[in-house]
Each structure stands twice: as C-alpha cells, then as structure tokens.
Amino acid sequence: MNVPVSPSPFPVFRTINCRGQLIDLSEPKIMGILNLTPDSFSDGGQFNNKKSALLQVEKMVNEGAHIIDVGAQSTRPKADLFSAPEEITRLGNIISEIKKAFPEILISLDTFYSETVNYGFAEGIDLINDISGGMFDDKMFQTAAETGLPYILMHVNATYDKMHSHLINDDIILAINYYFSEKIEQLRKMGVKDIILDPGFGFGKKVKQNHQVIEELNHVFFGTYPLLVGISRKSFIYKPLGKSALDIEEETQKLHLKSLENGAKILRVHDVRETKKTIDFFLNN
C-alpha cells in the first residue's frame, strides 16, 4: 500500500531574486571569494588594488564562478575590526568596476554594516552576505529589506569579540536551527523576501561539530531555504591534518562533494576551478 507523504509545512525556496533577475538554484552555484583586505588569513594583500582585483575576478569568472563575494574586512580570529567608513574606503569603486567589466556576474558584499550595504547597493551589488545575522548592526535587517536584495544569514555568536572563542556545547544542528528560526522570523517581519542560510563553518564550532554539520546538512532548517557552504581554507580542515590552509584542496573538494550530496546550493570558495570540477562530477553521477 502506498502511504501518502504529507507536504512539508514549510515553503521550499529554490530561486532568489537579484535586482529583478531570477536566479535558479536547482543546480549548485559557485561563489568566488575576493578579499580586498591586507590581513585575510590565506590571501591577505593579494587583491587589494583595482588591477589585481579585476584580474582575479576575470580568472574566477573564466573558471566558472557565478557570484563574486567582495569583502573589505577580515573575519579571521584576532583580526582588527574596521569601521564602516574604513570598509567603504577600502572598497572604493571596485564593485562598479567589476559590474562594468563583467555585467553578467552577480556580486555579493561581505559586510556586517548597514552603511556599507547602502554604499554597495548604490554601486551595484546583488546580494548581502552578513556574517553577523544582524547582530553587529541593529539597522542591518531594515536595510536589507529596503534594498530588496537576497540576504545571506549566517549562524554566529552574538558579539564580534566572541564569534570565534565562545564554543557551543549543545547539539549543533538544534542550536543552528533554533537560531535560524528566530532570525528568519525577524527578517520576514521586516520584509526580507529572499534568504540564504549559511551554517557558519568555523565560527564558534568545534572540529567535530563542523563535520557533523556537513554530514547532517539536509537537516539545517528542514531543507527549506537555499544553503551556502563556506569551508574553503578553514582551520577545522587543515589543523587536524597538520597542513596549511593552501595545502588541503583534495580534502576540501571531498567535503564539498559531501555538502552537495546533502543539499548545498552555493559553495563559497577560493579555488573556483577545482570546485567547478566537483560540481560537474556531482551533476553527472
């Protein structure tokens, strides 16, 4: 006897609206990382001028990136905290320059400041990537709603100074889902329509917990929102192996494949070429 399956009480979102362009996430997308910072943990200072930044964007686009994630502030442990005006100064006009050179590429802005979001919106960004879940700037959710841009909601501890150091002792999936349930309700009430969920790999999580999240990714908020996985060059991969951040590509791609199998829709990466190979393998097998 066939037993009917009850429909999920939660809506399932498979597309996002980026400034009127409907992006289909039924197939995974690659988000290439562009750090404009002098102090990022693996590529600090390499792309913090216009020429090198545009060359890096060209490289990532040619290798298969769908989104370029532009960040002007490092969020590594013990990084210096910069103000919104300093962040904006670092950004300069690189967003509009990228848009001019690569009009088809989507640009996300990695910031936890509403002021920087407003600046980026005027420059042409397509998504907001906020590691703070709106907790480092109480105007962030309102600003996200006013722009109408898709908002990437990451799981993180409540304060900047404890986002790495305060470890979670509860079941990590339950903790993440509880956090997301509260934040999604707030965003919806504000009027934010498109939400992407990022479990926040490496932020206040033990090595074992990071791997648990990958293994149980399909349980993150019931699989109803698009999931972004950002594990590229993270210490929970390389430190236990006694390797460096630049020497774990094979291990990273194995975890990327597992993430895709468990529902990841966006992979945020430094190495676009190898990630494209992983996605192609996933789609063809």
pLDDT in tens, 93-124: 999 999 999 999 999 999 999 999 999 999 99
Mean pLDDT of 136-146: 97
**Residues recognised as catalytic:** 234, 268
> What are the beta bridge partners of residue 268?
31
- Angle at Cα 161 formed by Cα 231 and Cα 203, nearest 5°? 20
State the Cα–Cα distance between residues 81 and 34, nearest whole angstrom. Answer: 18
Whether residue 126 is predicted with pLDDT greater than 80 in this model: the reply is yes
Enumerate the domain spans of the chain.
27-283
Whether residue 153 is predicted with pLDDT greater than 70 in this model: the reply is yes
Residue 215 pLDDT grade (very low, low, confident, very high; cuts 50, 70, 90): very high
Residue with token string 């999920």 = 8
Is the CATH code 3.20.20.20 the one for domain 27-283?
Answer: yes
Mean pLDDT of 140-162: 91
Whether residue 230 is predicted with pLDDT greater than 60 in this model: the reply is yes
Q: Given this model, what pLDDT does residue 56 score?
A: 95
Whether residue 149 is predicted with pLDDT greater than 50 in this model: the reply is yes
Mean pLDDT over the full length of the chain: 91
Residue with token string 């919806």 = 188
**Burial class of 181 by CB neighbour count within 10 A (0 to 12, 13 to 18, 19+):** exposed
3-state SS assignment for residue 43 = coil
Q: Given this model, what pLDDT does residue 14 score?
A: 82
Alpha carbon 197 to its chain's center: 8
